[in-house]
Amino acid sequence: MILHGYWRSTAAYRVRIALALKGVAYEHATHDLRTGAQGAADYRAINPQALVPAIEADGDVLTQSLAILEWLEERYASPALLPVGLTDRAIVRAMAATIACDIHPINNLRVLQVLRGEFGADEAAVNGWIARWIGDGFAALEVLIGRHGRGFAFGDTPTIADCCLVPQVYSAERFAVDLMPYPRLMAAAETARALPAFQAAHPDRQPDAG
């Protein structure tokens, strides 16, 4: 199995967490997003969208982090990253999608580059943009974690919600977003970050970090 990623990509970070939790071995293939390496022809042949992550496994290529997380959950049943109950599974998926579909896409590198290059946004404006959308999503998650969390974002074991939450908190901290309004969310993130699997997946511990 080959994971195509980049050390600071939060989407790739999600997948690394799930792989570590499930104890799945893989090889790293890095694509430096700062230099646009993901747009190279050889990588576009693997992932036509030219984004990370992508996984090569069994002769197939999988893209989009949420789809990869679901595939890992189905292929490697233990430990489960989705709860048993039908409604509970939908809640966890919604929490993960709040991050992966609503917060992250409008704050990722290619969007920020357009804000700077085509709309003339300075760094203060870009940072305000980032904080706005993280804040909207985290405010909703704070309520959901208060309802459903028992140590982790949902329940008392890690789920795909935590796989998405921890990287988004990393991004928020990187951009100095005020996280004081989200004590339940931060408590869940700290619980998850204390686990060895989450620590092993941290960007600073990746072979391409720097």
3-state secondary structure string across 156-199: CCCCHHHHHHHHHHHHHHHCCCCCCCCHHHHHHHHHHHCCHHHH
Domain boundary residue among 79, 102, 120?
A: 79
- Confidence class of residue 195 from pLDDT cuts 50, 70 and 90? very high
How many domains does the chain fold into?
A: 2
Among 32, 54, 79, residue at a domain's last position: 79
CA-to-CA distance for 37 and 183, rounded, in angstroms? 38
Q: Categorize the per-residue pLDDT at 210 as very low, low, confident or very high, splitting at 50, 70 and 90.
A: confident
Among 16, 47, 79, residue at a domain's last position: 79
- The band of 92, judged by pLDDT with boundaries at 50, 70 and 90, is very high
pTM: 0.96
CATH of residue 106: 1.20.1050.10
- Is residue 112 situated within a structural domain? yes
For residue 29, what are the domain limits? 2-79
Sign of the alpha-carbon torsion through 72, 97, 139, 10: positive
**Average pLDDT of the residues of the chain:** 97
> Residue type for 13, please?
Y
Beta strands, E only, 19-152: 27-30, 54-57, 60-63
Please check whether residue 105 lies inside any domain of the structure.
yes
Tell whether the model's pLDDT for residue 127 goes beyond 90. yes
State the pLDDT at residue 107: 95
If asked whether residues 43 and 108 sit together in one domain, one would say: no
